[in-house]
Amino acid sequence: MKRVAAFGLMIIALAYFTPRSVHAETPAPEVQNLSNRRYFEGTLAAIQKAKESIFLVMYHVPLDPSNRTSPVTRLIEALIGAKARGVRVQVILDQEIDTERAGKGTPMKNLRAYHALKENGISVSFDSLGKRTHAKLLVIDQEIVILGSTNWSREALDMNYEANLWVRSSETAAELLKDFGSIELLQPEKTAPSEERLRISRNFLLDKTQGPRFLDEHAERALRIYLILLSWQRHPDNLVLDYEETARLLGMKPMSREAYRRQIIKVLKKLGRDYKRIRFEPRHGKEALLTLLDPVPQADYFEVPRGLFSGGWIRTLSLRALYSLLVLQDQNSYPRTSPVIEVGLETLEKRYFVSRKTLGEGFRELARADLLEIYYGKTIDFSKKEFETASYVLLPFYDPAVREESLRKLERMYGREAFQQARGYAGAFFKEKDPEMIETLLNLRWTYSPEWLDLAMKKVILKKEVGNPARSLPYLIGILKQWKENGRPAFQA
């Protein structure tokens, strides 16, 4: 790894820590040099001496729990030890993929450290999606500050030239805690507290004669209607079907009343006769009377937010995207210490009897709808365009009408041509419906020029296979920054 001399950071830091007052009662901060190999020993000792609190913000912590003697493991264990002796420990980690190793497919570089800390009762969070927390900051007992260029990685701790300072200053510590304590954090997918979530028996997905059969037989409308029926179920008694509301949810209202009733009855008969999911009693001139054969589960179930129905998603998502969403909601229902669902496609294929191809395409459709964040991991075979997706974050359902208005506002602000170009490029990241992503690309267009952005997208990003971790916004930004430092574009296909 290329070594970078960063001693200029010390000069800047010393200027920052110069006391603002020369009054005798304001002591000058005590400052020590923790550059290079001094950092590890000094930081480890400071953590071990902590009495009340530890606040850590770190960009990169590639923990390998199997290597108990590595400096990274020893620092993590020191935090866990501090927590065990009663010290209040709070940690904020950057959540992006490791763009320096994107070609090797490193997903969410700090996940192992996150899990190790969380499992030991430490308050640990990722920063929010789309943000980068590049700081390397440690504040101990609201008085000791250690900051500089060193990540908690083997390279930074054992190999690189790194510049760091140890500072004793309660005033500086307070300012840094205020600045970095306001970092926007990544939150798991949430439903409003007042909104009831739909329970579905986990066996529906795990029994290949149930849920997977809908996929195998391309029974798209049958699955949609079955989920609608489940959403109306409150008790095991008979359910009176509202044909008009069912037609509205399915987008069948343009059809005549007789036509959509006939179509719905056909599906209900199929759900009863072929799938054995309901008992159905059509009544001439009246709403249908039916019974769901699966009662509301009290155990071994997963939950789906009812926003699936209120936002029209039950109608607009394709069959594969809808089923893939159910799979992820099931995964999301298992106890986890993180909003991130970390699982391979091969594992999902074996568990749910759904092909990796179907799941991969369904996940990408959910990402395009801005209902899912995908972090790509190890490539299986580039030549066959097969990839192992490593981790996912479910995003909340939203009102598509409100979202479209946000996109129209961006178009009015930046102009149609610039907006359309940025939205097209957002599609390379499956984010053409994400206003934040589109506006970020619009800002890059202004910062680096439309020509540079166009070159970086066409000659680098779009040359990457779908699923390559380098096909990402952080990688794009890194390319543009490098070009700016060199004073000219330079790219490789």
User: Which residues, in sequence order, are bridge partners of residue 123?
Assistant: 90
Instruction: Specify the amino acid at residue 309.
Output: F
Rounded Cα distance between 61 and 153, Å, is 6
Within 8 A by CB and 6+ apart from 193, the residues are none
Single residue among 265, 292, 319 that ends a domain in this structure: 292
Single residue among 260, 292, 324 that ends a domain in this structure: 292
What DSSP designation does 487 have? Answer: T
Let me know: does 304 contact 189? Beta carbons within 8 Å: no
Closest by CA to 300, choosing from 347, 334, 344, is 334
Q: Is the pLDDT of residue 109 over 60?
A: yes
Single residue among 276, 292, 308 that ends a domain in this structure: 292
Is 319 contained in some domain? no
Closest by CA to 443, choosing from 415, 414, 417, is 414
User: Which residues, in sequence order, are bridge partners of residue 279?
Assistant: 291
7 pLDDT band, cuts 50/70/90, is very low
Shared domain for 118 and 156, answered yes or no, is yes
* CA dist 416 → 118, 205, 419, 420, 423 (Å): 46, 44, 5, 6, 10
Digit-coded pLDDT (tens) for 157-194? 988 999 999 999 999 999 999 988 888 887 654 434 44
Rounded Cα distance between 389 and 376, Å, is 5
Q: Is 374 helix (H, G, I), strand (E, B) or coil?
A: strand
Residue 221: how many other CB atoms lie within 10 Å: 17
Bridge-based pairing state of the strands 372-381 and 341-342: unpaired
Closest by CA to 70, choosing from 13, 116, 104, is 116
Shared domain for 128 and 20, answered yes or no, is yes
- Helix and strand numbers (H, E) in the chain are 21, 15
Question: Region 302-308: what's the mean pLDDT?
Answer: 90
Task: Give the pLDDT score at 144.
Answer: 96
Within 8 A by CB and 6+ apart from 6, the residues are 148, 149, 161, 162, 163
Task: Give the pLDDT score at 492.
Answer: 44
Shared domain for 205 and 285, answered yes or no, is yes
Shared domain for 169 and 216, answered yes or no, is no
Shared domain for 143 and 21, answered yes or no, is yes
Structural domain boundaries, residue 227:
197-292
Rounded Cα distance between 99 and 471, Å, is 10
Shared domain for 111 and 167, answered yes or no, is yes
Is 155 contained in some domain? yes
DSSP 403-467: HHHHHHHHHHHH-HHHHHHHHHHHGGGT-TT-HHHHHHHHHHHHHH-HHHHHHHHHHTGGGSPTT
> Residue 492, exposed/middle/buried by CB under 10 A (0-12, 13-18, 19+)?
exposed
Shared domain for 90 and 19, answered yes or no, is yes
Is 372 contained in some domain? no
Rounded Cα distance between 315 and 225, Å, is 10
Digit-coded pLDDT (tens) for 210-219? 999 999 999 9
Task: Give the pLDDT score at 192.
Answer: 40
Let me know: does 372 contact 332? Beta carbons within 8 Å: no
Q: Is 218 helix (H, G, I), strand (E, B) or coil?
A: coil
Shared domain for 19 and 136, answered yes or no, is yes
Digit-coded pLDDT (tens) for 338-363? 667 878 888 899 999 999 999 999 99
Is 75 contained in some domain? yes
Share of the chain above pLDDT 70, in %: 83
Task: Give the pLDDT score at 3.
Answer: 45
Q: Is the pLDDT of residue 293 over 60?
A: yes
Closest by CA to 220, choosing from 267, 253, 273, is 267
Rounded Cα distance between 168 and 198, Å, is 53
- The domain spanning residue 130 has which CATH number? 3.30.870.10
Is 298 contained in some domain? no
Shared domain for 59 and 140, answered yes or no, is yes
Shared domain for 69 and 117, answered yes or no, is yes
As for how many domains the chain has, the answer is 3
Shared domain for 266 and 146, answered yes or no, is no
Is 427 contained in some domain? yes
DSSP 14-50: HHHTS-S---TTSPPPEEEE--TTHHHHHHHHHHHH-
Task: Give the pLDDT score at 26.
Answer: 56
Is 257 contained in some domain? yes
Within 8 A by CB and 6+ apart from 103, the residues are 468, 469, 470
Let me know: does 98 contact 60? Beta carbons within 8 Å: yes
Q: Is the pLDDT of residue 482 over 90?
A: no
27 pLDDT band, cuts 50/70/90, is low
How open is the CA angle 60-393-110, to the nearest 5 degrees?
Answer: 15
* CA dist 268 → 90, 120, 291, 372 (Å): 53, 50, 11, 31
User: Which residues, in sequence order, are bridge partners of residue 389?
Assistant: 376
Shared domain for 14 and 147, answered yes or no, is yes
274 pLDDT band, cuts 50/70/90, is very high
Is 112 contained in some domain? yes
Q: Tokens standing for 181?
A: 């304590």
Counting Cα atoms < 13 Å in the Cβ hemisphere of 43 gives 31
Longest CA span, the chain? 94
Buried b (16+ CB within 10 A) or exposed e, 403-415: beeebeebbeebe
Rounded Cα distance between 154 and 269, Å, is 63
Task: Give the pLDDT score at 65.
Answer: 67
Which of 235-244, 273-282, 324-333 shows the lowest per-residue confidence on average (mean pLDDT)?
Answer: 235-244
